[in-house]
Structure 1
C-alpha cells in the first residue's frame, strides 16, 4: 500500500493514523504539508511545499480572497505532488484535509488514487457559529463571503472518492444532498494513555502545587477567544471567586486568534477580559500552551472542567478531559449534544447564562453523591473515541469497505446503554461504516 497524507498543518488530526500506517510492513506512507507545519520528529517522510511569491491580494473581490488563497495552496501542493510522482512515488490512496485547498488538484496529478477527504466543516450564514453571539453580530458581507467560501467545500465533496466527518453535528452542517455520501468517523484520541490518577499533582511556574482533590477549575482552548467562550468563562469566574475563597483557576491557551477577530480595544482577549472583570490574580493562573503531559496532569487534578464553544467543531481537549475522568460543565450548544448527557456524564449550561455558569461551577466544586458516577460515565463516553476505533474506521474508508463494527471492544466497556442521542438526523457515536456509506464520504 502506498499512502499519501495531506494536511496543511501536518500532522493535524492525522498524527496517530499516519504513525500506525507507517509502522505496517509493506506500507509506504508519505505526507505533504505547508512549510510552516509543525511536523512530527518521528515521521521523516514529510514533503513541505512553499507558496509562490504571489499571494491572494486585495485586488481580488473580498468574497473571493479565500477562494484565491485556496487555489494558490492547491497549485503549490500540486507542484509538490508532481515532484513526488517524478521521483517514483504514486499513491494508491490519498487521505487529505481539503479545507485550505491543498487537495484541489490531487486527482489531476494522481488520477488513479483513491481520494479520502476529511470534511471538517461546512459553513452556514445562520444557525451555527456565524451570528451566534449577539456581542459580535454578523453582517450581510460576512454571510455572503461565507456562502462563496463554501464553493471550495462543495467542490471537495464532489471530486473525492470517500468523505468522512468526525461527529454528527459536523455532518449535519453539510447540505442534506451530501449526507448519504459522508461517513461518520472520529479520528480518535489516545484513550489508552488517559485516565484518572488520585495521586496526581502539578506544580505551576509560580511554585503553586495542585493536587487531586483541590478545588481546581480548569479551562482549555487552543487560543483564548470568544469562539470557545473565554469571555463568558471569565465573567462567571469573577462570581465564583467571590463565593469560593480557596478555588484556583488554571487557564490553558494562547493569545492568538484561531477563529473570529481580535478585540478592537486590546492586544488580545486575555487583556480585554482582564480589563472588564476583577479576578484574584493569585488564584487565576494563565499558563499559556502546555506540554501534553502537563495537560493530562491538569485534567487529573481538575475538580471541574469548563468547556464552552459556539456551535462549531468539537475540541479534542474535551474528549481527553472526559477520558481523564474530569467533571465537565459544558455549554448547552449543539456540538455538545453529541457527547454530553445532562446529569449522566456532565452538566450543560446555556452558553450566555453567566449566573447559571456560576451556580454550576460552585455545585461541581462542592461535590456530591453524583460526582463520582458522572466522572465514570464521562470516561465511558470518551472510550468510544479511541484511536483504535478511529484507525479501524479509516482503514475501512481506505479500502472502500462497507463492513460495520458497532459492538464495543474489550477496552471499551458497555457504552451503548447511555450513549447520547443525536438531534441532527444522523446516528450518534458510530464509526465510519455504521451508516453503510463508506464508498464516498473532522482536529
Structure 2
C-alpha cells in the first residue's frame, strides 16, 4: 500500500488524534491556530485544546487578500498566485506555532485548514437560476502539506455545496457534537464578520438541530472604521460607536434588504453586506451626512437586530434560551449590550463557560470536521429544507 495511505489508515484507527485546526475568517484579522486532541468520534467525541495562538496578518498581507476579497471582478493572475501563496504562508505559521509549543510536526496527525474565504455565492444571492450555489476559499492545501510535512484536510465547504447545501454555516456539525447538553436547549452564537447561530435541542435529536446565518456582525463595522479612522481596523470594545446615536431612518432602510425577511436557514457574506450596501441605504434614507460615531452606533444596532430577529423567527417572539457567544464580536461591549436588550429573556455567556476558549472555537470546529472525516460516520442534521446532508467534508492532501 502507498505509504501515505498507510499513514492515513493508521491515523483513522487511533483512539485519539492530534489535529491542528486553522481558521481565517471574513474579518481578515489573521490565522487562528489550535492544536487539538480529539478522542473518539461522533457522539463520543471528547476534545481538548492543547495550545492556541492567533497570527495577525500584516497590513501588506491583508492588502493582498483584499485585492480579491468579496469582489465580483478580480485580476485572475493575482487570484491564482494568492491561492499558492496563502497555502505556504499558513504552513509557515503552523510551523512557527509548533516550534514555539515544542511540538514536532511528526507528532501531529493532521491539519484541518478552512482557508480564506474570498467569495461566497449562494444562489439566492447571485440570482442566476441556471447556476449553482458556490463558495471559494483560498490557501492551497498541497502547499500547506508539503510545507509542514503533515497530512492536510481542506476545502470543507465544497462537499456541502455539492450535496445540495450552500456551503455555510458549517459550525453546526461541531456544535452538535461538542456542545449539546441533555435537557438544555442551547444557542451557540458566533459573531465573526457574519453572525451565525446553531440551535442545539436538549433532546439531542439531530433532526431538531438548526443553524443559519443571521446577517452582519463585524464586517460592516470594520469597513466603516477603516474608512473613517485611518490606521484603525476595528472598533475596539465598541468605544467609537458608544459615542454616537442610532439613526432610526438609516436602520429602517438597512433592514429593508430582502435578506432579513428571507426564510431560515440562509447564508450570506460581505459580498452582500458591503460598503456599497451601506451607501445605497444612506442615499435612500437621506442620511449621507451622518457622523462616523452615528454610523457605527447604527451598524452595531443592525448587527444585534439581525441576530435577534433571526432567533425570534426560529424560536418564537420571546425566546428564553442559554446563548453562548464566540467570535470577535464578543469583545465589542456595546454589541453585547445591544444583544441583551434585543433578547431580554435570554441568558448570555461564552463558550468559556463550556470549557472552550471563545477565540479558538472556530478553529476547533474544523479540527472536529477533519476528525469525523478521518474516523467518523457521516450523519445528517436537521430536517426538510433545513437538513444538512450526511457527508464527509474535506479534501485530503499528502505531504509526499
Bigger Rg over Cα: 1
When you count strand as a share of all residues, which structure comes out higher? 2
After TM superposition, is the score higher than 0.5?
Answer: no
Shorter-normalised TM-score: what interval?
Answer: 0.3 to 0.5
TM (norm. structure 2) is 0.38
| Greater length-normalized contact order (CA 8 Å, ≥ 6 residues apart) | 2
TM (norm. structure 1) is 0.35
When you count helix as a share of all residues, which structure comes out higher? 2
